[in-house]
Structure 1
Amino acid sequence: MAFASKKEDESGLSSYYNNKTTIIQEARVFNESPISPRKCRALLTRIVYLLYVGETFGTQEATTLFFGTTKLFQHKDSALRQMVYLAIKELATTSEDVIMVTSSIMKDMQPNSEVIYRPNSIRALCRIIDPSMAQGVERFFKAAIVDRNPSISSAALVSSYHLFPHAKDVVKRWVNEAQEAVGAKSSPSFFGTASNSSYLNFGTTSSQSNNGYQTIPSTSYITQYHALGLLYLIRQQDRMAVTKMIQQLGGGKSGAGTTLKNPMALCMLIRYAAKVMEDDPNVQKQMVDMLEGWLRHKSDMVNFEAARAICEMKHVAPAQLTKSIAVLQLFLSSPKPALKFAATRTLASLALLHPTSVATCNMDLENLITDSNRSVATYAITTLLKTGNEASVDRLMKQITGFMTEITDEFKVIIVDAIRSLCLKFPLKHVSMLTFLSGVLRDEGGYDFKRAVVEAIFDMIKFIGDCKEQALSHLCEFIEDCEFTKLSVRILHLLGMEGPKAPQPTKYIRFIYNRVVLENATVRAAAVSSLAKFGVNAADAGLRRSISVLLNRCLDDVDDEVRDRAALYLKTFKNEPLAVSYVKEESFFSLAALEAKLVTYVNDPSASAKAFDASSIPKISRAQAAQDVARPSTLDTIGVPASTRTSTTPPPPTAAETQSAYAQQLADVPELTGYGPVLNSTSKPVQLTETETEYQVTCVKHIFQEHVVFQFNVSNTLPDTVLEQVSVYMQPQPDSGLTEDFIIPIPSLTAPTSPSIGYVSYTRDSPEDYPVASFQCILRFVSKELDPSTGEPEAEGYEDEYQLEDVELSAGGDYIIPSYTTFDSEWKKLESGANATETFSLSAMESLKAACDSIIEVLNMEPLGGSQTPSSPSVHTLQLSGLVTGGGGKVLVRSRMTFTKGQGVTMELSVRAEKEAACNLVLAAVT
């Protein structure tokens, strides 16, 4: 048979046998009389196989096959009936008039039908019924959920889970049955007991015991797992209900009295408890007591899940980790590889935050370095690198060296990242670590692995000055054989930044010029830029002449980018202002902000008469640009409250990307088209409601030249209620300098949907001034209940309102844009401009770090030179830079602070700006 099968594959008979056209032609076997169960099962298997491998049937083809398949309901063969249900579930998505077979399926759902038919019929019915028909089958589902047979109950629960998004109101009424399924003990028989009226026929004769049927014992209690998932799905919008469910099913503080017997159900309950703790810290102590009780459960799965949940808690104290780490330490000596892998991975993550607590496991972890499972050994070594002391570094590095050739690139990256953090922890051990990194850099590996090694060396150059020269030499040797263009370009850029500062800069030039001769156009262009930095920053005139000779040779390059760069840099050698602007300058425009301004300029008909103004575009440092990564669309995350983001939510966009997205969003509002370009938008929405309230409202402020627009993102969390004519009414304080224009309401708001947006517009009475005001806000709407049967809102509703938090239009955060610059040079340039100095006493501040964070938040300016982190606990100088909207120009702040315990922070704030109004704006923000 094996030989025949091989010949069949070689001759292509298999592809013909499973061909869609052939199968449709052979479907006439469904119409034969009498029906041949064997032939029909074989054909149904081929149909399902085609669907699983990605083949698609047209609507007419699928409908023909679907109704041909349903004719097989006439036959009582149980194996054939199972294949029928499997086929109609897959064909139902593309067939027409599938609801016509509902009656045939519901016959198999009856309590007196064969028990093997009922679970399959329930799953099939869930796939084909229309959501409006859910109420008609409610009686069948309720009965099936509480059925004594676990297979029937589980099928009904899983089907209800999939039906919930389409018929929420109906499925919510099954909560009592789901609760009963969670609490009820599963029967000792998976397919029924001898006392049950339905049994599974295994083809035995009627003379056998139990009426010719057998029972299969089961103690898995899998129904509890499915029922718990359905209960959480129904209650997930109600945090109090979820908390109560966990408390009831958890069995008290020790967790010993729980009614849950299924380990997977307990693991799911633990994950729900962890989520509740994250959302509501007030219940953390109670939940931790419950989790610690599950650390003693008889199931390893439950033990590990509880230990992991405790280890991953936010702000967990070291004392709370003792029991969890003890459980994980026991797993380290387990004979099961899965348990050892899970324990070592969890300890590796925990070691980042609590290395001292994890250090108690070091002895067991060292025994795992030689484990046959290299994944376990990798995490063991990673954890030891994070928890070990300085004396153990050399010994670990020797063990790792022979270990690296035996693992995949994925685990190599994990080890390199651990060494990268170890370099900063023990800088005196940089020699052995740099030797190790340079060694693995020469080994075979993919891009991700090589990038991780290069990043680690970059960090050593940045933070450990003693190893800079040696590290640069290793990178020079690496680019001689580097096959990754991105890495070569990054290394060449670093050589251009750090090489001219080295004691012997000339030794790097040979490596850089080799790239001009041997590499592709992208690398050659980067090499030209790197050479130019040596020439511009060279103190020796002879070195500059040598660089000029090399760049002149590049003028004959076949690539225009290389030629243009060489010509540009040769020009800068003769013109010092050009060299400062194009080579020495460490900041440049934010590309996202520049793009948004250019798009606005091009689309504005009146803008063509005037030159493009780049003075209002914020700048970023080269370090920020180097760390830039691919991000999701900003419009997808705008207005989403922080409380609703999960661990899987993509990272938030940068401030410049947010500004660009808001500009695009506002351009689509007809009422705002005449306002001109938006000057600034708050990058972080302000929360105006508590996270657990039924209405979620956030506010974003948009500053225009002559207007201020308030954007309100409103979410309705009540599933049975529709809000209509939703608007926010704002009451400014007297003499605010603002006049209300109009309100754009939200026509309708249902739940659960993404936030809908409403606007309130104000005119600035004096566009050259910067109005500061506080607004009282009220959310007003018409509330209408949903009809459970139709899902439509009732005709009559009632007007209601909801008090929101006040909205502040602040001096700093709303009118100033962070912008990078070189502080010392710009501070001198603004010496003749507007300047002011004030002294403030910040008695409430408990440290200089807290004072720095508060000032940065209030002024919304860019901290320069790492000055946001004080290097001394008593004295510090904070340097800030920003741009004032509406042509206010540059503004710089130098804040000299001293901290005295018991008296707080005393601050001398000096401001320099291009215009007096900008200077006064900063002082007003701090005051």
Structure 2
Amino acid sequence: MALPSKKEEESGLSSYYNNKTTIIQEARVFNESPISPRKCRALLTRIVYLLYVGETFGTQEATTLFFGTTKLFQHKDSALRQAVYLAIKELATTAEDVIMVTSSIMKDMQPNSEVIYRPNAIRALCRIIDPSMAQGVERFFKAAIVDRNPSISSAALVSAYHLFPAAKDVVKRWVNEAQEAVNSKSSPSFFGSSSGGGYLGFGASSQPSGPQTITSSSYVSQYHALGLLYLIRQQDRMAVTKMIQQLGGGKSGSGTTLKNPMALCMLIRYTAKVIEEDPNVQKPMLELLDGWLRHKSDMVNFEAARVICELKNVSAPQLTKAISVLQLFLSSPKPVLKFAATRTLATLALSHPTSVATCNVDLESLIADPNRSVATYAITTLLKTGNEASVDRLIKQITGFMSEISDEFKVIIVDAIRSLCLKFPTKHASMLTFLSGVLRDEGGYDFKRAVVEAMFDMIKFISDAKEQALSHLCEFIEDCEFTKLSVRILHLLGMEGPKSPQPAKYIRFIYNRVVLENATVRAAAVASLAKFGVNSIDAALRNSISVLLRRCLDDVDDEVRDRAALYLKVFTEKSLADTYVKEESVFSLAALESKLVAYVKDPSAAAQPFDASSVPKISRSQAAQDAARPSTLDTIGVPTSQKVSNLPPPPSAAEKQSAYATQLAEVPEFASYGPVQNSSVTPSQLTESETEYQVTCVKHIFAKHVVFQYNVSNTLPDTVLENVSVIMQPQTEDSGLTEDFIILLPSLSASNSPSIIYASFSKSVPYPLASFACTLKFVSKELDPSTGEPEEDGYDDEYQLEEIELSAPDYIIANYVTFGAEWDRLRSAPSATETFALSAMESLKAACDSIIEVLNMEPLGGTEAPASTSVHTLQLSGLVTGAGGKVVVRCRMTFSQGEGVTLELGVRAEKQEACDLVLAAVGG
């Protein structure tokens, strides 16, 4: 339900008083002589208020009000002048010919004008002027940036920040002035807050005229100057690194010229970004961060500690000082510091639980904290860092305040319990009791789903907890108000119930759903009942299920009736049962949709039936997880604002390939190629991430062609590239590929990056394997700073890219099957067995990961090799593009210290070409 807008909340006299029509009629007060400052200020306030609540003025209305407002420049009342500037700033985006007021604004920007006018004038001019006029007012901005009055300097810096996207070249010339503002030693402020918070809102310019008293120094202009400097230099990582080192003040941090805490926090964030982009600078940057941990401002201390804790490759000794700072915050009387510290520690506990465990005593004291948000993060962290002996005590403490916190924090607690179940499986009884208790409490969908998913994990990974967890879920669906959860639980009961020692005890709970629930749940219950009938060896139970399904034939919903009729037919024929009930795989919906769209659009395919064998499959459990479970164990304890579940789930491999197919269908040159058979899911990176030109490659496989898609980005804002192409030179004479054509880019600037170059090749063999040396060729032209157009004179240039390789995984699509049945089915098909020595592999787990990556096939079992064993078997399945058909692989491995892994690779395929392709991938 949409929330009411502020405009809808108005009523009565306020609605009439602030009516747009009334205000436009009253605008004649601007034309009175003499001007009444009080009346004009009141009307301007109402105009700004209307704009604030979402009202819009038409172009003509805004223009009339704008130029009526500008007539008030002739009056010298300072409070009126401030209101005028505020109004024209807001109206300037809609009104016409606003540039005509420039001269009036420029008068108030002069150094000899009233100090209180200048900040307002600078901010207004930023909205009024055309980007091409920025050069004409350059001297005014330069003088204002270095002005000793912080309100004037900040106004100029913020205005320059907003001007930068439209007038980059002009603003870049102000870098020396911005640097001087950063280094300014005396920056007095009119506000009493040392944090610079008084600037937010109208700033110094909204203060009344008259004598002013300097109460403290906030150095707020340093914050704005630093933001502008980074904006100018952000494309030059070396310049940003040098700026951080100059302003950082050395290892102790005491020598920094930055006095404003917000500026230092911003500098710390820039430091984190530099470390993320270039891990080689982590050591010197960490020394700076350690120095900021000793700063006198709590804000700076916390920001430095948070950044250190979030570094990817940080070691436990490097975390010591940051954790000590956070530990001090845990005992702070300020709730905000306690909350910030506990949330950071909760996140860090995911990757470094041992390091965080040093804070457990302080965290336990926060479990009873009156701020329940602090208590929630404290208990979450303890659950991640505690030992097995403390589980029961922690769960008892959690139970006491679950009813006092919001659903958002309940989800965090439940996710932590879910992780704890897998960490200490012997404590599953107490944790399952806790989960079943909170499942009966009041709560929304997200909270209930988190509890159900935790129970699902216990059923999947802890065999001793399966029966009890299933019983709790059966009780839950009796009163469940969420259809999605009921369907998920019924599906699980159908999968796990028939395997239990007493499957009949679940039938009552499932059939109750047929009697009492809505059509969607009834249909799911029918499917669940059918699984009990098909998978049960008890003839009496099968007969009972048949009776129940016959009753469903009279249901009012056609979906329920059709499912009941289908499953009754399935009971009589084993082949149907194997296909429609016992089969563990389903089509990947995104891949199926893509293949069907290509089939419908291809005129030549109309004479042939649709070939479903080329559509990859996934397991039913994976399909259910993808549809209903966007969050994973990796998000446990992470602040809700950072949770993956709050973001759109990333596209699957099949969805990416479907998107590529749609994109290629719009290219006329590929119209005769037919449907694309496969596209590489992960683009190959052909350049470093920090280079001026960034190129990635995606390979598309067609029946008789291979298309290389190059995504090219230009990061140089003052340069445009023309006639951009990628020259591909095969490394071997007979690659099996012949170049057809290249679709080059006529022009590539930083504003239209990334753009695409296509290179098409014809195949002379079914599965060509080749390696290409790649070169990016283009004509480089500088942009004219005044017009923004490329100069006529350019020069030919080229940029060497990494090699691109067309290999076996580009022709293989991951496909789920029941391995044992498929391996037996292909017993008489083409097969091969070879032995390989993988001497570089240090463990069986590393060998499994490498083989899966090399073959790009679906792992069906044996992906987790126990560290204690020296013998292991990995099973894989895939589809080979074209007419290659299905292929299954059995990898038997032995590991010995010092000699690595010995691999016996067994391959069975429907076609000999597919068998040879797999052997070539591993052997190469």
TM range (shorter): over 0.9
Aligned to 1:715: 713
1:875 maps onto 2:871 in alignment: yes
The answer on whether the counterparts of 1:686 and 1:698 sit within 8 Å (CA) in structure 2 is: yes
Which residue of structure 2 aligns with residue 86 of structure 1?
86
- Please name the residue that 1:556 is paired with: 554
Q: CA deviation at 1:869?
A: 4.6
Shift of 1:787: 0.6
The 2-side partners of 1:630 and 1:225 are apart by 45
**Is the counterpart of residue 735 in structure 1 residue 734 in structure 2?**
yes
Residue 395 of structure 1 aligns with an amino acid whose one-letter code is: R
Letter of the structure 1 residue corresponding to residue 29 of structure 2: V
- Distance in 2 (CA, whole Å) between partners of 1:399 and 1:753 is 56
Cα deviation for residue 589 of structure 1 reads: 0.7
Q: Report the equivalent of 2:768.
A: 771
Give the drift of 1:651: 5.8
CA contact (8 A) 1:150 1:191 kept: no
Contact 2:117 2:205 in 1 (8 A): no
Q: Are residues 1:337 and 2:335 paired?
A: yes
Q: Determine which of 787, 796, 811 is the counterpart of 1:815.
A: 811
Residue from 524, 527, 538 that aligns with 1:526:
524
Distance 1:560 1:872, change over 3 A: farther
* Offset of residue 615 of structure 1: 1.0
Letter of the structure 2 residue corresponding to residue 129 of structure 1: I
Q: Does 1:845 align with 2:841?
A: yes
Displacement of 1:870: 4.5
Q: 1:709 to 1:651 in 2, by over 3 A?
A: same
| Offset of residue 750 of structure 1 | 0.4
Say how many residue pairs are matched: 890
1:750 aligned onto 2:740: no
Gaps of 5+ in 2: 1-8, 193-203, 631-643
Give me the whole-angstrom Cα distance separating, in 2, the residues matched to 1:127 and 1:782: 37
After superposition, where does 1:62-81 map in structure 2 within 5 Å?
62-81=62-81
* d(CA) in 2 for partners of 1:554, 1:56: 58
Which residue is equivalent to 2:503?
505
Counterparts of 1:821 and 1:176, CA distance in 2: 66
Q: 1:631 to 1:78 in 2, by over 3 A?
A: farther
- Inter-CA distance 201–446: structure 2 relative to 1 (3 Å threshold): closer
Taking the aligned partners of 1:651 and 1:159, their CA distance within structure 2 comes to 38
Matched, 1:570 2:568: yes
Residue 125 of structure 1 corresponds to: 125
Q: CA deviation at 1:191?
A: 9.3
**Counterparts of 1:147-296 in structure 2 under 5 Å?**
147-190=147-190, 213-296=211-294
Distance verdict in 2 for CA 1:555–1:870, change over 3 Å: same
Where in structure 1 are there 5+ consecutive unaligned residues?
1-8, 193-198, 205-211, 633-645
CA-CA distance at 1:863 after TM superposition = 0.7
Q: By how many angstroms is 1:648 displaced? A: 11
In the alignment, the residues of structure 2 paired with residue 32 and residue 828 of structure 1 have an alpha-carbon distance, to the nearest angstrom, of 97
Aligned: 1:806 with 2:809: no
CA shift digits 1:244-283 (9 cap, x unpaired) = 1111111122222111111111111111111111111101
Q: CA deviation at 1:691?
A: 1.7
Q: CA deviation at 1:630?
A: 9.3
8 Å Cα contact 2:862-2:872 kept in structure 1: no
For residues 445-499 of structure 1, give each alpha carbon's deviation from its aligned partner in whole angstroms, at most 9, with x where no partner exists. 1111111111111111111110100100000000000000011010011101000
| Structure 2 Cα separation of the partners of residues 614 and 311 of structure 1 | 50
The aligned residue for residue 688 of structure 1 is 686
Quote the Cα distance in structure 2 between the aligned partners of 1:597 and 1:251. 61
Cα distance in 2, alignment partners of residues 11 and 263 from structure 1? 43
SS in structure 2 at match of 1:609: coil
Q: Aligned partners of 1:185, 1:588: CA distance in 2, in Å? A: 69
Whether the 8 Å CA contact 1:823–1:879 is kept in 2: the answer is yes
2:601 corresponds to: 603
Q: CA deviation at 1:213?
A: 2.7
**Offset at residue 215 of structure 1 (A):** 3.3
Tell me how far apart the structure 1 counterparts of residues 327 and 593 of structure 2 sit (CA, whole Å): 54
Residue 872 (structure 1) shift: 4.3
Letter in 1 for 2:713: S
Tell me which residue corresponds to 1:790.
Answer: 787
Task: Output the CA distance in 2 between the equivalents of 1:745 and 1:93.
Answer: 39
Residue 484 of structure 2: SS of its match in structure 1? helix
Corresponding residue number in structure 2 for 1:636: none
Describe the SS at the equivalent of 1:906: strand
**8 Å contact from structure 2 (residues 150, 188) kept in 1:** no
Distance, in Å, in 1 between the alignment partners of 2:208 and 2:278 is 56
Could you tell me which residue of structure 2 aligns to residue 463 of structure 1?
461
Per-residue CA deviations over 1:145-200 (Å, capped at 9, x if unaligned) read 111110011111111111111111111111111111111123335499xxxxxx99
Matched, 1:104 2:101: no
The amino acid across from 1:849 in the alignment is K
User: How far does residue 866 in structure 1 lie from its aligned partner after superposition?
Assistant: 5.1
Residue from 903, 914, 920 that aligns with 1:918: 914
Correspondence for 1:428? 426
Residue 643 of structure 1: aligned partner:
none
Equivalent residue of 1:421, what SS?
helix
Identify the residue that residue 5 of structure 2 maps to in structure 1: none
- Residue 612 of structure 2 aligns to a residue whose secondary structure is coil
Residues 630 and 148 (structure 1), Cα distance of their counterparts in 2 relative to 1, 3 Å cut: farther
Q: CA deviation at 1:134?
A: 1.2
Residue number in structure 2 paired with 1:57 = 57
Spell out the pairing of 1:375-394 with structure 2 (5 A cutoff): 375-394=373-392
| CA deviation map 1:489-535 (0-9, x unaligned) | 10011101000011111111000000000000000010011100000
Q: Write the distance in 2 (CA, Å) between the matches of 1:630 and 1:498.
A: 18
For 1:706, the equivalent position in structure 2 comes to 704
Deviations 1:35-57 (A, max 9, x none): 11111111111111111111111
CA distance in 2, matches of 1:184, 1:214: 22
1: CA distance, partners of 2:186 / 2:708: 57
Matched, 1:302 2:300: yes
Distance 1:459 1:158 in 2: 52
User: Structure 1 202/789 Cα, relative in aligned 2: closer, same or farther at 3 Å?
Assistant: closer
CA distance in structure 2 between the aligned counterparts of 1:308 and 1:874, rounded to whole angstroms: 42
Q: Secondary structure at the match of 1:908?
A: strand
CA contact (8 A) 1:200 1:214 kept: no
Measured against aligned partners, the alpha-carbon deviations of 1:686-730 in whole angstroms (never above 9, x if no partner) come to: 011122221111111111000011111111111111000000011
Residue pairs, 1:858-897, within 5 angstroms = 858-865=854-861, 867-870=863-866, 872-897=868-893
- What amino acid sits opposite 1:61 in the alignment? E
1:145 aligns with 2:141: no
What is the rounded CA distance, in whole Å, between the counterparts of 2:748 and 2:252 in structure 1?
43
Q: Which amino acid aligns with 2:769?
A: V
Deviations 1:550-604 (A, max 9, x none): 0011111111111111111111101111111111111111000000011111111
Q: CA deviation at 1:649?
A: 9.1
1:650–1:258 Cα change, 3 Å: farther
**Are residues 1:655 and 2:653 paired?**
yes
Q: Is the 8 A contact 2:861 2:876 kept in 1?
A: no
Q: Which amino acid aligns with 2:48?
A: V
Structure 1 outlier segments of 4+, above 6 Å: 199-204, 646-650
> Could you tell me which residue of structure 2 aligns to residue 904 of structure 1?
900
Checking the alignment, whether the CA contact within 8 Å between 2:187 and 2:221 is kept in structure 1 is no
Cα distance in 2 between the residues matched to 1:770 and 1:514: 56
Aligned mate of 1:825, from 810, 821, 827: 821
In structure 2, the residue matched to 1:20 is: 20
**Mapped partners of 1:200, 1:532: distance in 2:** 75
The DSSP-based 3-state class of the residue aligned with 2:60 is helix
1:402 Cα deviation from its structure 2 partner: 1.3
8 Å CA contact 2:190, 2:212 repeated in 1: no
Amino acid at match of 1:594: L
- Give SS of 1:555's match: helix
Report the identity percentage.
83
Q: Over residues 764-784 of structure 1, what are the superposed CA-to-partner deviations in whole Å (9 max), with x where a residue is unaligned? A: 123xx2111111111110110
Instruction: Report if aligned partners of 1:722, 1:785 keep a CA contact under 8 Å in 2.
Output: yes
Secondary structure of the structure 2 residue equivalent to 1:905? strand
Query: 1:631·1:651 contact (CA, 8 Å) conserved in 2?
Result: no
- Contact kept, 8 Å, 2:99 with 2:129, in 1: the verdict is yes
Match of 2:831 in 1: 835
